[in-house]
Amino acid sequence: MNVIWIFGDQHRAQSLSCAGAPNLHTPNLDRMAVEGVYFTQALMGFPLCCPCRGSMLTGEYPHNAVPGHEYPLPEGMPTLGEYLGDAGVDTAWFGKWHLDGHHESDGRGGIHFIPRERRGGFDTWVGYENNNAQNDCWVHGHDGDTEVPMTCLDTYETDALTDRLLEWIGREERSETPFFAALSVQPPHDPYVAPPEWMGRHAPADMELRPNVPDIPEVRKRAQRQLAGYNAMIENLDWNVGRVLQAINSSPFRDDTAILFFSDHGDMQGSHGRWGKTNPHEESIRVPMIFWSTQNHKYAAYNLTETPQLINHVDLLPTTLGLCGVEVPDHLPGTDFHRTLVDRKIPKDAPKSAYLQNVIPTGHRNSDGFPYRGVVTEDGWKYVAHPHGPYMLYHLKEDPYEQVNRATEPSLKKKRIELQELLEEWVEKTGDEFPVFKG
């Protein structure tokens, strides 16, 4: 099977119209959710660009791969591009990379040159390290044996990178070789600006905020202003997803292609008075996750599959290998969920909980300035601890907006100990060296 990844940066799970988001219309993603498999409890266990991307591409947890912001992929660690390339799959990457270890203090990441040996082993790689200027996006790389010089995209980033993907997919020889392609775009990451035709659809004053955005005028005003641009960027991304769906459905491989849509982490947008990511709140860790295949879209009326199964960053690589018919290496810690798309079966070894991490704090002013580890369970508990004690404890089924932190509540001591023991199991099982609080 051919596989395409489509993912933006900082797109939280709550921001899809099929997830009930107000002021937002995502018809193509909603369609994929109906026709495919919609993981309603998907998360990224380290809500920060570089660590999550490292885990997605290596299948390893961040402490064993990319432990913090602006850290590079470890030399010699196999990547998805290499696993698939060794199996004869034609591979391509388009867009944001953020895995070469470039520091913004050394100059603008958008024009940082990444040498070919640092591009993950992809046959075609046209991208950039990091860029927070969607209307001034520069790419470079290689297209097979042809070098791609540093070039400024001539339109808005998401539109232009989708053009590149569609051109690559539509090549004459494409139908004869199985392929994998990744479309990795910066939007809806800040700055929250979309093309004018999309920005014009959203006025800040009309933005309905989540119930956990505090009633503080300056917070709510900023959140509404940001959310207007954020929603415009997501709707533009959804439109480009529609372009890919249309191209696939009219192609020679319309009966043998899967699309995995997700994000590298979420965005707080004023919830709990916070911004950005890195903290373990729901708006930060939860991401949209939709698996769609051309093999089952015709049965959409009977096919709606929403699953509360927990799925994490380390599961994307084994799932993609499974879809491509490539054996999953035994040493990888993640779960292969490809059968969930193919025949709607949850793997028997699917985890009952997911691991959360902040390995090396970024020091950004809106982030958590200390390391933490945590667990989320399938029955809705979230427990997070830092080295000196409990940090968060929520029962998400009762308190989905995390409005009452019960981490130090005496009545929940038994549950806290139970979750603490589960956390210790995750630390030991993954070979993490986090100093788990004892108490």
Query: Tens digits of per-residue pLDDT, 70-124?
Result: 999 999 999 999 999 999 999 999 999 999 999 988 888 899 999 999 999 999 9
pLDDT band of 212, cuts 50, 70, 90:
very high
User: How far apart, in whole angstroms, are the C-alpha atoms of residue 27 and residue 239?
Assistant: 8
For every residue of 28-68, DSSP letters joined together read HHHHHHHHSEEETTBB-SS-SHHHHHHHHHH-S-GGGS--B
Taken in order 266, 268, 269, 275, the sign of the CA dihedral is: negative
Q: Among residues of the chain, what percentage have pLDDT more than 70? A: 97
CA 68 vs CA 93, 119, 318, 433: distances in Å: 22, 19, 23, 15
Tell me the average pLDDT across 133-150. Answer: 97
3-state class (DSSP) for residue 124: strand
User: Nearest to residue 228, comparing CAs of 186, 173, 270?
Assistant: 270
Residue 218 CA to its chain's centroid (Å): 29
Provide the CA 411 distance to its chain's centre, in angstroms. 36
**Class of the CATH domain delimited by 2-342:** alpha beta
* pLDDT computed for residue 302 by the predictor: 47
Res 305 pLDDT > 80:
no
Q: Which residues pair with 311 in a beta bridge?
A: 42
| Percentage above 90 pLDDT, the chain | 88
Q: Is the pLDDT of residue 312 over 50?
A: yes
C-beta separation of 17 from 272 below 8 A:
no
Dist CA 47 CA 313 (whole Å): 10
Mean pLDDT of the chain: 95
* Mean pLDDT value across residues 391-417: 96
Residue 211 in tokens: 């119930």
Compute the distance between CA of residue 370 and CA of residue 362 in angstroms, rounded to an integer. Answer: 9
Distance separating alpha carbons of residues 223 and 315, to the nearest angstrom: 32
Domain ranges of the chain: 2-342, 370-429
Residue pLDDT, tens place only, 223-264: 999 999 999 999 999 999 999 999 999 999 888 999 999 999
pLDDT tens track for 8-29: 999 999 999 999 999 999 999 9
pLDDT of residue 270: 98
Task: Tell me the whole-structure pTM to 2 decimals.
Answer: 0.96
pLDDT for 343 equals 86
What pairs with residue 389 in β-bridges?
Answer: 386
